[in-house]
Copies of this chain bind each other. A is one copy, B any other.
Amino acid sequence: MSLNSIFQYFVPKDRKFFPLFEKASGNLINLGEALNELVHTNDLNRKTELTKNIEDFEHVGDDITHQIFLEMGKNFITPFDREDIHALASAIDDIADFIHGSAARMQLYKITDNTVPVQKLSELILQGCQDLHKAVCELKNLKNIRVITDSCVRINSMENQADYVFDRAVADLFEYEQDAKLIIKYKEILSALETATDKCEDAANVLETILVKNA
């Protein structure tokens, strides 16, 4: 950790970690877009197809995360602190997992209705993934720090909105839904979606940490 800071002037331009992180955050946009189409379409065949696509994107993400961890093991010197590389890769992996988990539950629980809070949370997730990707792409030169900072601010505000949508949606379920089974099912799906936005915030927090250390 501290040795990294000492050695940072001798580190050759990193050609391993940055491209992997850009792939990982780019993959999140694919996941976010598929999720959004899934919760807006009424075509059941298309829903099945999109759920399958989301599963495939999630596997792609797993492979990228695995490659990042392998590179960490092989490289004594890393472009930023090892703990931050680990935390950022894990947060991106978690976002993918929870997007996939939400879609998988919709299919498993045979939820085919597209409700407004589910759509709203999916839109917030996509927006978070887009901001995250924008910020990650700036990491390699840190010349446009402002782009990263602005993305992080928007991700934090997105997560606050998601909290509000989730809390309101669960309260409404208790208020207006009589079928306990449906309450449990929707609560599970809303909760997976909301956790995806928490993980976006975790990723943004890591980016801010990296900025502070390297500014």
- How many of A's residues come within 8 Å of B, CB to CB? 33
Q: This chain: how many copies in the complex?
A: 3
Tell me whether A137 is interfacial, beta carbon within 8 Å: no
Docked Cα-Cα span, A73 to B209, in Å, equals 7
Docked Cα-Cα span, A184 to B186, in Å, equals 13
Near B by CB (< 8 A), chain A positions 4-42 give 4-5
Q: Check B74 against A212 for contact (C-beta < 8 Å).
A: yes
Chain B residues positioned under 8 Å from A5 (CB to CB): 76
Give a binary string over A72-96; 1 marks a CB under 8 Å from any B CB, 0 the rest.
1110100000110000000000000
Chain A residues near B (Cβ < 8 Å): 1-5, 69-70, 72-74, 76, 82-83, 104, 108-110, 167-168, 170-171, 174, 180-181, 183-185, 187, 205, 208-209, 212-213
Q: List 7 A-B contacts (CB under 8 A).
A: A1-B1, A110-B171, A174-B184, A180-B180, A180-B181, A180-B183, A180-B184
